[in-house]
Structure 1
C-alpha cells in the first residue's frame, strides 16, 4: 500500500489566526470561495444576492447580483417592484451573466474535445513509435477515420511548409540577382 504524502483535507479549528500575513492570505482565499458560492447560487437558483466583506486591514469588498440598486431596493421593501430603469439594468445584468455562463460552458466543451484529441494523438504517437503496421489492425473504424484525418492534415501541413520554403528560396534568389 502506498503511503500518503499529505494529510489531506482536515477540519480546521475555528479560532483567530494570530499571524497577520497568514490572516490576510486566508481571507483572500476564503473571499474567493465565498464569491464562487454566491455566483453558483445566482446561477443555479436564480436569486438576488449581496455580500459585503471587510478585510482584516479594513478594506471593503462586495458582491451584488444583479445590481447594487436592485438589491438595496429589495432589501428596503421586499414586496416593491423595481423601478423601470433599475429593472432594465437588472435584466441586462442577468442576461449578461447568462451569456457569459453559456460561453463558459462552450469553452469547457471545447476544452474537453481538445483533451480528447490530445489523448488520441498521444495514442497515435505511441502507435507510431511501436510501428503503425504492427497495431493498425487493432484500431476500430472511428479510430481509423481519425487517424486518416490526422494523416491528411499532416500531409497538407508538410506541403504548405514545403511551398513556403520553395517560395522563400526563389524570393531570396530573385533579390540577389
Structure 2
C-alpha cells in the first residue's frame, strides 16, 4: 500500500518549446485543444474590445474543422469575398444589431465592475495603511507585503531580527542548562 501523504507529481504549467513538434497523437490533440482555446479567447476579447468582425478557422491534427466567427460566418465571408456588406433580410440585420448592442452592454458592465474592483482594492489598501498607522507593529506583521512602505519593511525586518536573536539566546540558555544538569 502506498503512502497516502504522497501527491501525484505533474508537469504543471510551463513554457512549451515552439521548435519541438509533438509526435504522439495524444500530445498533439492536447496541445491543439489548449492552444485553440487560447486563440478563441483572444479573438473574443479582440471582438469585445474593438467591435471588429472576425472568422477564425482551425483544422485539428485529425482533420476536424473548428471555427469561431462574429457576428456570423456568412456576414464576414460576404464582406471578405465581395468586399461589401451582405444583402441580408431585415431579420438578420435586426439580430446582428441586437447582438452588437448586447455585447456593447456587457462590455460596459465589465468595465464598470473592473472599475469598482480597482476602487475596492484602493479602499482596502487605504484601510490597511490606516490600521498599520494606528496599531503599529502588530498590523505590519499581518499586512500584505505589497502594502508595506520602506519604513514599515525596515521596522518589520528589525523586529524579526530581534525575535531571531532572542530565540537563539534562549536556545543557548537551554543548551547551557542541559549541560549543567549533566554535570
Larger radius of gyration: 2
Structure 1's 14 and 93: CA in aligned 2 closer, same or farther, altered over 3 A? farther
User: Structure 2: where are the runs of 5+ without partners?
Assistant: 1-13, 138-183
Give the TM-score normalised by the residue count of structure 1. 0.55
Alignment-derived partner of residue 79 in structure 2: 74
Structure 1's 121 and 55: CA in aligned 2 closer, same or farther, altered over 3 A? farther
The structure 2 residue matched to 1:110, chosen from 111, 116, 125, is 116
Alignment-derived partner of residue 17 in structure 2: 12
Is 2:98 the counterpart of 1:92?
yes
Distance 1:80 1:119 in 2: 51
Distance 1:129 1:19 in 2: 60
Alignment check: 8 A CA contact 2:49 2:107 kept? no
Distance 2:16 2:30 in 1: 18
Displaced runs of 4 or more, over 6 A: none
User: Structure 1: where are the runs of 5+ without partners?
Assistant: 1-8, 132-177
Alignment-derived partner of residue 119 in structure 1: 125
Q: Deviations over 1:1-37 (max 9, x none)?
A: xxxxxxxx97833342124444333223322331233
Q: Deviations over 1:100-153 (max 9, x none)?
A: 11111111111111111221222233234328xxxxxxxxxxxxxxxxxxxxxx
The structure 1 residue matched to 2:67, chosen from 50, 53, 62, is 62
Give the TM-score normalised by the residue count of structure 2. 0.53
Structure 1's 90 and 82: CA in aligned 2 closer, same or farther, altered over 3 A? farther
Q: How far apart are 1:57 and its partner, in Å? A: 4.9
Q: Deviations over 1:50-94 (max 9, x none)?
A: 112234455543211012332344345332443122222211121
After superposition, the CA RMSD in angstroms is 3.0
